[in-house]
Structure 1
Amino acid sequence: MAKELFNRYVWLIDTLQRYGRLTRREIDGLWQRSEYSDGKPMARRTFMNYRQAIQEMFDVNIECDASTYEYYIEDPDALQGNGARVWALNTLAVSNMLNESQELRNRIVLENIPSGQKFLRIVFEAMKENRVLILSYRSFRRVTSSHTLAAPYFVKLFRQRWYVIAKDFTDRKIKTYALDRVASLELSSRTFVYPDSFSPIDYFRDCFGITHDDMPAQEVVLRVPALQANYLRTLPLHESQEELDRNEHGSTFHYRLKITPDFEQEVYALGYWQAEVLSPQTLRDAVAERLSRSLACYGTAGLSCQERGK
């Protein structure tokens, strides 16, 4: 029953997100077509109870315009972005839609997240209780696994992989561990103090992807063709993205971020779309050199890059 109520709250939030403003009658019409109503209308008292529960549980306030009697989400921008609450609500909303569309299940293709889901619950429990993790981890750069004690500060999802950012007790440094590379994970009896001054958002501020670096942020300017610009407008590379100019041939985008290996890799991939780094010159030279080496892989028939490098 609790799960069903939870799903109904998410349904109401998602419905108001999609339609913007709705009267009680309009909400009721959509409600009766949903899987949760059994074809019955939603009683006014039930609706008011849902509003209150949504406010208390999700901190989402549903207001009523007294002049039109329309209901709306007071601060829709709060349901945008990449916070945990937004991610959870979006995930649940999609789950509800899938449940309502069982007859289409063979026509819906989803992506798998091969990232050690079995370890997430342990990590969450460790964060909740401030317990130290006993971690066995095998990096792609190592042949054998490393063993360490780590204090989990927060988790991050990026490119279909879950990561736990934790303080390593061996060298006292904050490190990033991909859960799909964890060999074993268990709770220890040892506890740690999560620093009040630490902010996961600030930790990755000015960063792209999952790589953190103490280097200063730099101003980056990219010039991309018109087609690729459409993709960047709908899915920005970084929250600092700003479109400086635009014409029929392409657009110029400005960013302020740290030039980490993750970002270099992304810019390198954009090179396929003829994206050009205008500044800084160091990044422009690095991408040009890497593209040149990639092109050289096709210059000698019958030999791979690895073979020519021997």
Structure 2
Amino acid sequence: MPARAHLLRQFHIVQRLQAVRGRALPFDEIRRYLLEETAVGDYEGGYELRTFQRDKQEIIDLFGITIRARKNEGYYLAETEPLPADQQRLFEAFELQEFLRLPQALGPFVQAEARRPLGLQYLRPLLRAAQAGQVVEFQYQKHWEEQAETRTVGPLLLKEFRGRWYVLAAMVWSGRLACFGLDRIQDLQLTAATFSPPAGFDATTYYADAFGITRPHDAAPQEVVLCFAPTQGRYALSYPLHASQQVLVQNEEEIQLALWVYDTHDLRMELLSYGPEVQVLAPPALRDWLHAQHAEAAGPA
């Protein structure tokens, strides 16, 4: 069994036990779940108790999560908190990768997104440069410019948004922070020069109040209150717009959500994509802008 699938199996055990919220599961139920409802069954014809015992120990070592036994009932988690978001995302990526490795006969039943983001070959070099405080140089082609320009920057943070990857970096000569799409980078070179992050920069919180890749430096985040039609609102509930999202009202007529975010181009384009299915209740400036955009799109009466 490939090492990644071995790790995935252990994740599925933790995930399943977390889902039952402290209830003990017999080993036979855990085995059935692994073999019938996950990618584990694609690699193994069976799953033995002795393998489960080894997995239990490795789960402690890898994740710090203890699986305990309850006599005559089964196994349960001593810890009930979910995995950290970064670990959860990693395992989800493993699961998707394994799922897409389907036998050819099953291909007609699955259609993955055909588009793939460009520039992924730069992820590892940029990550190494960010870790080492190493300056990089590349050619950058803006969509609205005819010629590429040289950029010399210190990478600070890699960020994904809408299936594309970006690098937040400090411009070497000015210290200004800028975000670059990896799909527009060409001829990336690591240099011998080093840099230090700007004073007070914290990669873990820089985008905390931002929707997308834009974070204004001359404005503060604010409460944005949105009113969705029920159907579209349920989509927003199942896939939150932002980590700060809170439900204010939920009934048969409407769903109101509050976000604490910057008013940015990315956020405004997201709101436009909902058409008449969303109204902005606050702040007034954002509400007025959305009304004006819809009126302009409708054209003269």
Q: Same fold (TM over 0.5)?
A: yes
SS at match of 1:200: coil
The equivalent position to 1:88 in structure 2, one of 71, 85, 90, is 90
Partner of 1:36: 43
Picking from 177, 181, 185, the partner of 2:184 is 181
- Aligned partner of 1:93: which letter? E
More displaced, 276-285 or 62-71?
62-71
How far apart, in 1, do the equivalents of 2:100 and 2:144 lie?
39
The residue that corresponds to 2:216 in the other structure is: 213
Report if aligned partners of 1:132, 1:190 keep a CA contact under 8 Å in 2. Answer: yes
Name 2:52's counterpart in structure 1. Answer: 47
Larger deviation: 245-254 or 95-104? 95-104
Q: CA deviation at 1:31?
A: 5.0
Are the structure 2 counterparts of residues 229 and 30 from structure 1 closer, same or farther at C-alpha, using a change threshold of 3 Å?
closer
Give per-residue Cα distances to partners, 1:44-79, cap 9 Å, x unaligned.
2x434333334444x251422435331448345225
Aligned partner of 2:166 among 163, 173, 191:
163
Q: What are the within-5 Å matches in structure 2 for residues 243-254 of structure 1?
A: 243-254=247-258
Match of 2:101 in 1: 99
> Alpha-carbon deviations, 1:130-176, whole Å to 9, x = none?
32211211122322212122111111111010111111102111211
Written as runs of structure 1 = structure 2, the 5 A alignment for 1:141-290 is 141-194=144-197, 198-214=201-217, 215-270=219-274, 272-290=275-293
Residues 175 and 198 in structure 2, CA contact (< 8 A), matched pair in contact too:
no
- Show CA shifts across 1:87-146 (max 9, x none): 211100222233365542332212233231122222223234332211211122322212
1:211, distance to aligned residue in structure 2 (A): 0.7
Task: After superposition, give the CA deviation of every residue in 1:174-220 in whole Å (9 maximum; x if it has no partner).
Answer: 21111011122121122334579533231011111111112111111
Contact 1:9–1:54 at 8 Å: present in 2 too?
no
Contact kept, 8 Å, 1:148 with 1:170, in 2: the verdict is no
Partner of 2:10: 12
Of 142, 160, 165 in structure 2, the residue corresponding to residue 139 of structure 1 is 142
State whether residues 161 and 212 of structure 2, in contact with CA within 8 Å, keep that contact through their aligned partners in structure 1.
yes
Write the deviation string for residues 8-53 of structure 1: whole angstroms up to 9, x where unpaired.
121221244246353333333455661333x344352x43433333
Change beyond 3 A, Cα 1:290–1:149: same
Matching residue of 1:27: 30
Give the aligned CA root-mean-square deviation in angstroms. 2.6
Code of the aligned partner of 2:259: Y
Looking at structure 2, the residues matched to 164 and 238 of structure 1 have their Cα atoms a distance apart, in angstroms, of 20
1:141–1:50: structure 2 CA closer, same or farther, 3 Å change rule? same
Q: What 5-or-longer segments of structure 2 have no aligned partner? A: none
The answer to whether the 8 Å contact 2:70/2:76 transfers is no
Q: Is the CA contact 1:115–1:178 (under 8 Å) kept in the aligned structure 2? A: no
Q: Which moved more, 1:187-196 or 1:280-289?
A: 187-196
CA distance in structure 2 between the partners assigned to 1:186 and 1:267 by the alignment: 38
> Residues 279-310 of structure 1, C-alpha deviation per residue, up to 9 Å, x if partnerless?
111111111112222222xx49xxxxxxxxxx
Question: What is the distance in 1 between the residues matched to 2:78 and 2:169?
Answer: 36
What does the per-residue CA deviation read over 1:213-242, in whole Å, with 9 as the maximum and x for residues that have no partner? 121111111111111111111111111111
Aligned to 1:127: 130
Q: Secondary structure at the match of 2:42?
A: coil
TM-score norm. by structure 1 comes to 0.83
Point out the more displaced range, 174-183 or 94-103: 94-103
Q: Determine the C-alpha separation between the residues in 1 that align with 2:43 and 2:242.
A: 38
For normalisation by structure 2, the TM-score amounts to: 0.85
Number of equivalences:
289
The 1:99/1:69 distance shift into structure 2, 3 A limit, reads same
Letter in 2 for 1:5: A
Q: Which runs of 5+ in 1 are unaligned?
A: 301-310
